[in-house]
Every structure is written in structure tokens, then in C-alpha cells.
Amino acid sequence: MTRIDQPKIEEASIKRILLVRPRRMGDIILTTPALRALRSAFPEAYLCYLVEKPYARLIEGNGLVDEVLAIKPDPGLVGLLTIIKKLRRKKFDVALDFHGGPRSALLVLASGSRWKIGYKTKYKAWVYDYLVPRSYASGPVHSVINHLNLVRILKPETGQEFSLKVPPSRPEEREKIEAFWKQAGLFSRKVLALHISAGNRFRDWGKENLVSFLEGLDSWSEVWPLLIGSKEDKAREKEILESLGRPVPSLVGQTSLGDLIAVLEKADLFVGPDSGPMHLAAALNKPIVALFGPTLPAHFAPWKAKAIILERPMACRPCRQRFCPEKNFACLKTIKPEEVIVACQNLLSSESSEKNFPRKEKGNIN
């Protein structure tokens, strides 16, 4: 009997479940519908989520797991052996690998779990007792649905009704962001959180587009932009502010992951590329204008969010983000600032009156 043909696991034997997704922000958030499904199917089971320390805040306190096992991003050999020892002591019945990378496959294999469930990927499929395809000849499959398909090995009738979930901001995080809101004069405004980068050049809308977009907002007095991004985006922030010649409220490089949760809880709209903050905004039920370049909405659209997705139907999409065949990143950079402004107007107007919301806009997931 091949691994993929294994008989159904008896639900009564499932008491302790290991979940593995070490990184990154968006990918971890996209596993949370599967966590909801598992908690619904196995309310008494012990769920342990293995994640790298920089992203543990996304799972801690979400009410879906019993333990968060936070590991160093680069634990080294001794650290890795220590992690494996901890996992084996916990005597898991089932391990689900939401990642499929070499290290997560090794941890699942070495965990001592009785049943191991993962994706049918090259070179690593032998690790798992039960395999789930990650891609299908019929077309792209959303990442959330792929993760739910792993859960269906344990509970075949699992549906797609489960939404994203992240823990709320903590009091000290809210206090910090409330103070910034007051200092920047944002309390009387609608706040548009503008993510100015997604960590790599393939998802960079470009300085010119960002500046033109911000200039286009000048006449929209009731809406103020708030720049968000990581420390790596400080150079881009400087370029934007120098080109504009005026200050813009900015928290670029100033927020922890918990602070970012507090920021997006207060914001009225998120604008930015396919990224971790985009999925965080979706988890917090914020309206989203999402700019898709090399990735496909069919794989990574904001899950169950009120979203307008802007993209260009180029033959080179999706790509592996190693080099741009067009040499100009046209898939993202040809999205016009004017288009983004119109999408923002539509979404913000829908918050006060559903009449103007374009319900059939391509990419909406409701």
C-alpha cells in the first residue's frame, strides 16, 4: 500500500497534533483557517504550533492552539537536536507540515509522530504517511484551501467556511499606537495604511508610483495616508518624503509585529502589494486594495476579505521571482496610481454606504 493510499485515521485516536509552519508572516496567517478547522473537528485535542520566534506573536493568544513552540530562525545543529528532543517527548499522534521545506520536513520526520501529513513535493514526499497535492492540472488552488486539504486527511468533510484569525493587539501595543495617532492628528481622519514595500524588488510598486499616489490623495481631505513598512524600507521612506517635499505620517521601521496589529486595527483601509501585512489586514477584516505582480490572486488573494485586486494579465505571470524576463517588473509597476485611488474611493465609500461597492470586481473573495 502506498503512502497516499493509507486507510483513514481513526478520529478517536487523534489526541495530540503537531503543526509546523516556521515562517513567514503571510504564510503563517494563511494556516489559521486550518487551525480553526482542526479545533472545530478535535475540540479536546492538544494542538502544538512550531514557528520561528519572530512570528510567534501571530499564533500566541489566538485561542486556537494549546502551545506555541517558538524556535530560533537558525538554531544550529545543537539547537535543532534540542528541538527534536522536545518534540519526541510530546508523543504526537499526528504531524501536519504546512510548509514542506527541508527543515520542516526533517522536524516532522524526527518528531516521532505516528502519522505524518504533508504535501506531495519533489524529494520530500517520502517523509509523509499521507500526501496532498499542492498543485492541480485543473488550475491554481488558494493556499488556504491547500492547508484545509491537509486537515481533510483527518476530517474528510472539512469545509471552506473558516476565516483567518490573529490575536488582538495587547494593551501596551494599543497605547503606543494611540499615542502616535494623537500626535499625528489621525483621530479625526479616515486612515489609509500604505505598505511601501514587500521586502523584495518583485513586489515593489516603485517610488514614482507611490509618490504619484500620495499626491493624488492631496485633494481627498478626509483621508490621510499612513506609511508602514520594515526597517529595510527606511531608504524608500526617505525617497518618498524628499520627492513629496512635505511630511506624511509614517511608522516605517518603528513597529513590532504586535504594534502592526494595533495599527491595522485602527486603520480604515490597507493598500499595498501581496505581502504579510496584506494578509494581516485581511485577518483583521479591513478593506484592502491589493496590488498583485508576480504572484496570482488565485493562490494568495486576501481570504474572505472585502478586497479589490489590481493586476496585469501578463504571460510571464506567475514567476519564480528570480529574474524579470521583461527587465522592468511591468506586472506590478504598470498598475496606475489613478486606478488605485479609484479603488480606494470605492472601498471607503462602501464602508458608509454599500451602494457604491463594486461587488463583482475581479478578485473579490467574500
Q: Where are the domains of the chain?
A: 3-152, 171-356
Dihedral pair phi/psi, residue 301, rounded to 5°: -60, 150
DSSP state of 246: S
Task: Render pLDDT for 207-261 as a digit per residue (tens, 0 to 9).
Answer: 999 999 999 998 888 899 999 999 999 999 999 999 999 999 999 999 999 999 9
Task: Render pLDDT for 123-136 as a digit per residue (tens, 0 to 9).
Answer: 899 999 999 999 89
3-state secondary structure 1-69: CCHHHCCCCCHHHCCEEEEECCCCHHHHHCCHHHHHHHHHHCCCCEEEEEEEHHHHHHCCCCCCCCEEE
Confidence of residue 359 (pLDDT cuts 50, 70, 90): very low
Task: Render pLDDT for 174-185 as a digit per residue (tens, 0 to 9).
Answer: 999 999 999 999
Closest among 61, 67, 53 to 19, alpha carbons compared? 67
Task: Render pLDDT for 306-341 as a digit per residue (tens, 0 to 9).
Answer: 999 999 998 888 888 888 888 888 899 999 999 999
Secondary structure element (H or E) that encloses residue 276, with its range = helix 276-283
Helices and strands (DSSP H and E) totals, the chain:
13, 11
Contact 99, 119 (CB under 8 A): no
3 state SS of 308: strand
Q: Domain 171-356, what architecture? A: 3-Layer(aba) Sandwich (3.40)
CATH number of the structural domain 3-152: 3.40.50.2000
Its pTM stands at 0.93
